[in-house]
Chains A and B, each alone.
Chain A
Amino acid sequence: MTSSLSHITGPILRDNPVTVQILGICSALAVTTSMTTAATMCVALTGVLVAASGVISLIRRHIPGQIRLILQITIIAALVIVADLLLQAYAFAISERLSIFVSLIVTNCIVLGRAEAFAMSHPPFPSMLDALGNGLGYSAVLLIVAFARELFGQGTLFGATVFQTVTDGGWYEPWSFMLLAPSAFVLLGLLVWAIRAWQTAQAEPDPTPVRAEGETP
């Protein structure tokens, strides 16, 4: 029980796919201008990740090594199209705003990464738990970044006004830099810094240390 729980909790902080492995940041930049789109993206990615890991793990003993990547991508792509269609059918307005980023889940390294690194060598149930944990880890980062971007960029959260903006007669001057993609890089960098300062084990050794004169490596 503790081990299956660690499949879920591990990737949220200790081994977070975004802040530790720096995977999936393309969509983390693109869909985090508002909480609504970020939350929808999180649900879509977690759903696809869990389903893909389950299916791939189920047939893992019969996947020929030479064509395993193609088979994995085929399964992931099919699930992504189904998820995209479901969003278009039941959340049309949000799917319009997410535009191609739902389809781009196919190329999200987290999905293929978990299939290749975990689902191919573990039974379905632990694989799906691991996928759920990674999905939640990705979601946590996305929601933190989106929280800051929407709050400071537009003064709202989930579209509801928190800071009354100047244009609406309030006091808050929206920080429009927050709505541009580079702000997500900055926020993500600060987040990685904060987590590694706290969880020092995650910090990587300096690849190019500055040495004093005459010192040998």
Chain B
Amino acid sequence: MPDLNPITAWRRMLAAPNDSRGKMLAMAFLVSAASALAVSSAAVLLGPRLDSNRAAERQARLEALLADLPALADLLAETGADGLDIVVADLETGTRADVDPSAFDPEALDEEQISALPPEEDIAGIGTRPDLAQFYVARDGSDIAAVILPVYGQGYQSVIRGYLALEGDLNTVAGLTITEQGETPGLGANIESPSWQAQWPGTQLLGPDGEIRVAVVRGGAQNEYEVDAITGATRTSNGVQNMVRFWIGPEGFGPVLDALGEGRL
């Protein structure tokens, strides 16, 4: 009958010679378990604070983006931030969803409201896409002054999140801001730098036939559809390009943008 009393087993473990195999395994296990416990309890206890910090950061970046849009500055000066219409839309149909925008929580969607993306359409590398998405429309009277779309996609080693602002023609980029990324510091992380983002305003998204032409290219932008990639950060640059292409495309906000252009939304 082996001794199963945990206290004597513990004492036996402590008394065992340090280089015995059993003690080595026991110490390795105990140290990893204690470390894992410390890290996960810190993450859980601090989680709400971290989330609210990140949300505040996102809000600040959105406000900074809005403040930088020349088309919006005058409009918002007149109407204040209330001039911004928060819309929750169904991405499949491009119609307004029957949801209160102020109570909309993208984290709390049901499983039926999230679609899996087939690999050939999933250029942004995000796997699944919610059917309902929130975005912002600024109107000047009945004309659209700007549309601000939240976008995200896989970069080189992290998920990149940001906001893409379009001018009233829904084809000219008014600005791109990155709110969250964990790319290589000094290289890919430069997508957050104002000097790189400054290339985006004025970039055209679609060619004359309506095909998506916007691109992040190496070796210098040649025309109004292109933006310079960051040297040494090809995969981050491609990630941003594919993120923008995905979210203005048919699986992203494409149907919504069509509806907006036809005045249906």
- Seen from chain A, the residues whose Cβ lies within 8 Å of a Cβ on chain B are 59, 61-67, 70-71, 74-75, 77-79, 81-82, 85-86, 88-90, 92, 96, 99-100
Residues of B that sit less than 8 Å from A by CB:
14, 18-19, 23-24, 27-28, 31-32, 34-36, 38-39, 42-43, 46, 49-50, 53, 56-57, 185, 189
Contact of A71 among B14, B28, B189 (CB under 8 A): B28
The answer to whether A64 and B38 touch (CB under 8 A), given A85-B43, A85-B46, A89-B53, is: no
Q: Which of B24, B35, B42, B57 contacts A75 (CB 8 A)?
A: B35
Contact A82 B39 (CB under 8 A): yes
Chain B residues within an 8 Å CB radius of A71: 27-28, 31
Structural contact, A67 and B50, CB atoms closer than 8 A = no
Cα–Cα, bound, A64→B14 (Å): 11
Q: Do A74 and B53 touch (CB < 8 A)?
A: no
Query: Closest residue to B19 on the A side, CB-wise?
Result: A64
Contact between chains at A89 and B50 (CB < 8 Å): yes
Q: Determine chain A's interface SS by DSSP, over half rule.
A: helix
Residues B32 and A74 in contact, CB atoms below 8 Å apart: yes
A92 CA to B19 CA, complexed, in Å: 44
Contact of B39 among A63, A81, A89, A90 (CB under 8 A): A81
Taking A70-B28, A71-B27, A89-B46 as known contacts, 10 extra A-B pairs with beta carbons closer than 8 A to each other, sorted by chain A number, are A61-B18, A66-B24, A67-B24, A74-B32, A74-B35, A77-B35, A85-B50, A86-B42, A89-B50, A100-B185
A16 to B45, CA, bound (A): 36
Residue of B19, B53, B56, B189 with most partner-chain A CB within 10 A: B53
A67, B28: Cβ atoms closer than 8 Å: yes
Q: Total contacts A to B, CB within 8 angstroms?
A: 63
Cα-based distance from A171 to B50 in the complex (angstroms): 42
A77 to B36, CA, bound (A): 10
Establish whether residues B18 and A65, one from each chain, have CB atoms under 8 Å apart when the complex forms.
yes
B19, A66: Cβ atoms under 8 Å?
yes
Q: Are B14 and A78 in contact (CB under 8 A)?
A: no
A132 vs B50: C-alpha distance when bound (angstroms): 29
A79 and B36 alpha carbons, distance in the complex (Å): 10
- Of A62, A70, A75, A82, the residue contacting B14 (CB under 8 A) is A62
Q: Are A92 and B53 in contact (CB under 8 A)?
A: yes
Complexed CA–CA distance, A161 and B42 (Å): 37
A2 to B189, CA, bound (A): 49
Chain A: CB-nearest residue to B51 = A89
CA distance A89 to B57 in the complex (A): 12
**Which residue from chain B places its CB closest to the CB of A76 in the assembled complex?**
B35
Residues of B within 8 A of A100 (CB): 185
| CB < 8 Å neighbour of A78 from B24, B35, B50 | B35
